[in-house]
Amino acid sequence: MSKFCENCGAEMDDNQTVCPNCGNATEAEKVNGASAEDVKSTPTSSNKSETIKKVGIIGGIVAVVVALVAIIVSIIGGGWKTPLKNYVDGRNKCDSDKYISAYPDFLKMNTTDSNLKDAKKDDEKEYGDNVKYSFKVLKKEKINKDELADVEEYINNKYNEKVKVKGGYKVKIEAKTKGKEDYDYGTTFRYVYKIDGKWKMLDVSPEAAKKGKDSKSSSYDYDYDY
């Protein structure tokens, strides 16, 4: 029994699905129960493999971007200035947790919010209401490995703490106290160290640490040297 092309009317054999005269498919080609259009839209194993590869590449790129963002955030928000900022923020807000976070845990500081409020009230008697503390870095000097080793040994001996000190700076800052009526400012030095991976402020110079002594400086005193 013959059939005819739906497009041009040419006679075709029963087993023919494409017209030999015009090339038109006269009926939907069934492959495992699916039409030719369905077959075209079904992804092959090769396409699936390519898709998986693309997803993997995109995932890798996203992971790299996330890692870079984490590094940048670490550099910007967790660098050597962090303890200096925490110290000043803690004093301004009378926040003892913030203030204490500027220093290493082994100091076991017992500063309270009340202590900071009292200190601020004393300053307000001299400078007027709404006293604000601020600082500006004028210069920083990198502390070398031998000096860091002296600081590490000093901490280990004085506080009986086995820590690793992997970085440090001697920082010259301009510190300022300002109220509504008056203000005061001057320069002082602060020492910041990377202790067990965290930047902290410690009032001991490498020279003093080598001698096993504390630096003779108060967190509240200014050194007017200009």
pLDDT tens track, the chain, 226 positions: 567 777 777 777 777 778 878 777 765 444 444 444 554 455 555 666 676 666 667 766 866 654 554 454 444 447 999 999 999 999 999 999 999 999 999 999 999 999 999 999 999 999 999 999 999 999 999 999 999 999 999 999 999 999 999 999 999 999 999 999 999 999 999 999 999 999 999 999 999 999 986 655 444 343 333 2
**β-bridge mates for residue 170, sequence order:** 141, 191
- Distant-in-sequence contacts of 183-186, Cβ < 8 A, 24+ apart: 183/127, 184/127, 184/222, 185/222, 186/222, 186/223, 186/224, 186/225
C-alpha to C-alpha distance for 41 and 28, rounded to whole angstroms: 14
pLDDT at 69: 46
Q: Is the pTM of this model over 0.75?
A: no
- Residue 173 pairs in a beta bridge with 137, 188
In a 13 Å sphere around the CA of 97, the CA atoms on its Cβ side amount to: 0
What pLDDT, on the 0 to 100 scale, is given for residue 185? 94
